[in-house]
Amino acid sequence: MTQLDGRMLANRYRIEALVGRGGMADVYRGTDTMLERPIAVKILTDRSDDIRKRFLREAQSMAKLNHRNIVGVYDAGQADGLSYIIMELLQGRTLAQIPSGELTMHTAIRHFIDLLEALSYAHDQGLVHRDVKPANVMVLGDGVIKVMDFGLSRRTSEMSSVTNAGEIVGTIAYLSPERFLGKVADARSDLYSVGIMMYEVFTGGVPFKSETDDLVAVIFAHVNEPPVPPRTVNRAVPMQIERIILKLLEKDPERRYQNARELIVELQSLIGGGPGAPADAQPAPSRSAMVAAAAPEAVRQVLEKTFGSTRTLNEGYSETLAGMLATRKRNYPEAARAYTTALTAFKTAGNDVEYAKTALKFAMMIAQKNTEGEAPDRKEIDQAVEVLGDALPVIRGRRMSKELEEGERILYALQRIGVRFR
């Protein structure tokens, strides 16, 4: 994108300096020359039709919201080929940028109450944020919280399993199980994301992660695996906080808090001086307060690289998840179908790494099927050996030692099984 410093938009807004970059837009500091006030100017950098529509939706969504804990939107439009949003200029840091140990227990809870006040207001207007994460929560110099980036928000009346199926957006670490399963996402999905953030603040890490950047494994964990209780990770976490976090992270939305107001009341009781209320002097976790703080740009790059904007790639992730779920239920015909579809999608998208990881999962499923007495047919074995053979050079080249060891073991086992058919 060309340098925009000093440029005028709509004969009114002067762009002065770049202050931040995002996946689809850049943010500049500027001045509204008519009202003589500082502003933030968000300029769309991705020109695809889908992104333009999302950008417009962000402006429309945020313009409807007038709350002290939500960044204000003043104007939006197009000028000289640029799509822009004029917003309140914020001076502060995102929760993702706050250093380890800086937050006290009391301050952290206060921040979450303000975040929930913003979400409660938006939910009452019929808007679900859909991308609640540390990088979208700004802490101003006076401690006031401002929620940003409603670009993925959607009216609850517009949300259905049809519009969400196959659509994996936002940041994987913070998304609710229903988002991955193509089910209706509502206000309780935002509360799940708040639960992930609380877990991260009070333990130093997100509950569902992969040391090998296997995003499908992270999705599978969101859908199937219970989180390790926060007090198991950090004994300093108060029992009341652990109970709240685990309720927020329930897989079934019906078992979570049903609205933000319920949670606000509980958190307020914890800092109101009642029995067992966390003292302000208690420090937040000694490890990193936010995982995203370590490398927000790296997180963005990983998501752009692995998810992109294509339906083909999303289909690959969705079908791989379906294969993992079917394998767990021992529905091997469905698992084979899902993995085969995913492999085709990843090959079409040219994503060698995800193809290799999925090939390993497929081969492991075939081997598992055999060990349980349901011997696979010759065609399945040959297919598993072929795709695993394609995958191993990629795994070896990426120095994925754990996957390489597992892949070579499975390949040897499948070759031995195949001997029976010769």
Active site residues: 131
Spatial separation of the C-alpha atoms in residues 294 and 378, rounded to whole Å: 48
Q: Tokens for 415?
A: 């070759």
Instruction: Give the dihedral of Cα atoms 337, 341, 342, 345; nearest 10 deg.
Output: 180
With 0-12 / 13-18 / 19 or more C-beta atoms within 10 angstroms meaning exposed / middle / buried, residue 118 is buried
Nearest to 15 by CA among 26, 23, 24, 93: 26
Q: Are strands 127-128 and 82-87 parallel, antiparallel or unpaired?
A: unpaired
Spatial separation of the C-alpha atoms in residues 411 and 422, rounded to whole Å: 17
Q: Are 66 and 50 in contact (CB under 8 A)?
A: no
Provide the edge-to-edge strand list for the sheet that holds 73-79. Answer: 8-9, 13-21, 25-32, 37-44, 82-87, 73-79
Q: Are 323 and 362 in contact (CB under 8 A)?
A: yes
Instruction: Give the dihedral of Cα atoms 235, 290, 257, 215; nearest 10 deg.
Output: -110
Which position has the token pair 């991260």? Answer: 200
Q: Are strands 73-79 and 82-87 parallel, antiparallel or unpaired?
A: antiparallel
Q: Tokens for 169?
A: 């957006």
Q: Tokens for 110?
A: 């206060």
Q: Tokens for 118?
A: 């913003």
